[in-house]
Amino acid sequence: MYRQGDLLFVEVDEIPKDAKTDEKGILAYGEVTGHTHRIRSGVEAAMRVAAGVAYVQAMKEAHIDHEEHGTITLPPGNWQVVRQREHVPEGYRQVVD
Amino acid sequence: MTNNIDTDKIREKAAEMAQHWVDNFNPDGKPDMEGIQKLLSQRNFEDEMVITISVKSYQEVSDALRRGVRLLESDMRGASDKEIVAYVKKLMPEYDEVPADLMKHLKSFDGKSLKDASDADVDARIKELEPWRCIWDYYDMAFWESVYSQLPSDKKVDEFMNQSFFDAFKLGLGFCINLGSLVVGVALPEAHRDEEGRLHAEDKAAVVWGDDHQYWWRGVQIERDWIENKDDVDPKLAMTWENMEQRRCLTEIIGWEKVLTCVNQKEIQRDARGILIETDSLNDGEEHPRFVKVQDASTDREYILRVPPETQTASEGVAWTFDIDAKRYNPLQET
């Protein structure tokens, strides 16, 4: 697994078959900073989304960029993008930045 | 016909010029309104008569256009110099004196006069002039400067290149609405930045544009009260505010010590992943909330994340935030 800020990339065997490709490749967007976690264009990797969960399908090494966090390099494979969460008395909520 | 203009060179030069302006304008954060008005008034392109009005924000543009167009299209034939001066000063209180070419223009204008027209009629005339098609910012100016710099020197080229217009951008002019005989200059917002160029001000609004006041902390937009009334802000907000970046800013503004003292924090455990702390109740139904205090791997900034109250270690808490078992949580790379 790899981590960039509030995103964790966990390798999975396969991506759900009904996942749709998102051409923009922006995995997460910071509401107040405008910063993005994004797949570097030009690399052989695609962002896929199924049931609100993002995946990175990396045919070769995939670089994930961010304005403040260092770039991470995912080896070829299928990666589920896990957003960080936080406890609240009612359960939990996704971390927003 | 041979094309003597090297478009690549223009593009390159324009980008360079625009960057130059971006780097050099507005050095102390506050537009120099007096200087901008003076420079715009000196505009000397093609010996045209020009009325210039400089305003601090976009909110004043409509009024400036209305005053300028009304003045420009006022028939004052037959009026005395004294009457003309009184009329101009009423419309343009910012003018110390009435320029001779404007005086001459008003004495000879014989079009449809807007002098006594209603605001609605003046607005209709402004609409015909399509001012939104005549907006020049420093990128446009850079482009035209680059084009003209490619032309052989002659009077027109030299006049264009020597326009005081260009210098006004360096004093904080944001853009111009250039209707030829009427130029409305609109200043950039007053903006304050930190040493890394991010919008930031510790004791005032970081961005002021007319009535708009925005508060920023190192590139993150925050609540007004966090700056203007920081002593009255409940430190517990720094533990509960939903947006993580804004929450981090609030802890920096108030100070970690004050935040943690206010909630009577106790360290439960610490390890390589962070520090697990427990606090007094935040009045939200949990008696002893627990948090992990962590440091970002890239920025070294400290964040605080709430975890379930049964959490026993910082590692367990961090792993929980990614919905993963503590034994499995082991990133190969973390940035």
Q: How high is the pLDDT of residue B1?
A: 42
pLDDT digits (tens, 9 = 90+) for B66-100: 999 999 999 999 999 999 999 999 999 988 889 88
Q: Is B96 on the interface with A (CB under 8 A)?
A: no
Q: Which of residues 26-65 of A touch B (CB under 8 A)?
A: 30-33
pLDDT digits (tens, 9 = 90+) for A84-94: 999 999 999 99
Residue B92: CB atoms within 10 A of its CB come to 18
Q: Is B330 on the interface with A (CB under 8 A)?
A: yes
In our burial notation (b when 16+ CB lie closer than 10 A, e otherwise), range A9-44 reads bbeeeebeeebeeeeebebbebebbebebbbeeebe
* Interchain proximity A84–B221, CB inside 8 Å: no
* Interchain proximity B335–A88, CB inside 8 Å: no
Q: Which residues of A touch B219 (CB under 8 A)?
A: 33
Q: Strand A7-12 to strand A72-74: parallel, antiparallel, or no bridges (unpaired)? A: unpaired
pLDDT digits (tens, 9 = 90+) for B298-327: 888 899 999 999 999 999 999 999 999 999
* Structure ipTM: 0.95
* Interchain proximity A68–B298, CB inside 8 Å: yes
* Interchain proximity A69–B299, CB inside 8 Å: yes
Q: Is B310 on the interface with A (CB under 8 A)?
A: no
pLDDT digits (tens, 9 = 90+) for B182-240: 999 998 888 888 888 888 999 999 988 888 899 999 989 999 999 999 999 999 999 99
Average pLDDT, whole number, for chain A? 94
* Interchain proximity A8–B331, CB inside 8 Å: yes
* Interchain proximity B331–A71, CB inside 8 Å: no
What are the DSSP calls for B62-129, one per residue? Answer: HHHHHHHHHHHT---TT--HHHHHHHHHHH-TT-SS--HHHHHHHHH--S---TT--HHHHHHHHHHH
Q: Is B219 on the interface with A (CB under 8 A)?
A: yes
pLDDT digits (tens, 9 = 90+) for B261-287: 999 999 999 999 999 999 999 988 899
Q: Which helix (DSSP H) or strand (DSSP E) does residue A79 occupy? A: strand A77-83
CA-nearest residue to B245 within chain A is A97
Q: Specify which residues A86 forms β-bridges with.
A: A93
Q: Is B297 on the interface with A (CB under 8 A)?
A: yes
pLDDT class of A21 with cuts at 50, 70, 90? very high
Q: Which residues of A touch B244 (CB under 8 A)?
A: 6, 86, 95-97
For residues B8-15, give the mean pLDDT: 70
Q: How high is the pLDDT of residue B272?
A: 94
* Interchain proximity A96–B322, CB inside 8 Å: no
Chain centre distance of CA B131: 21
Q: Which residues of A touch B298 (CB under 8 A)?
A: 5, 68-70
* Interchain proximity A2–B245, CB inside 8 Å: no
pLDDT digits (tens, 9 = 90+) for B281-303: 998 889 999 999 999 888 888 99
Whole-structure pTM value: 0.76
Q: Are B227 and B203 in contact (CB under 8 A)?
A: yes
* Interchain proximity B321–A85, CB inside 8 Å: yes
* Whether pLDDT at B20 is above 80: no
| 3-state DSSP assignment of residue B259 | helix
Q: Are B302 and B251 in contact (CB under 8 A)?
A: yes
* Interchain proximity B324–A8, CB inside 8 Å: yes
Lowest-confidence range among A76-80, B11-15, B38-42?
B11-15
Lowest-confidence range among A2-16, A35-49, B26-40, B96-110?
B26-40
Residue with tokens 């005549």: B134
Q: How high is the pLDDT of residue B2?
A: 45
Residue B79: CB atoms within 10 A of its CB come to 16
Q: How high is the pLDDT of residue B137?
A: 82
Shortest Cα distance, chain A CAs vs residue B275, angstroms: 16
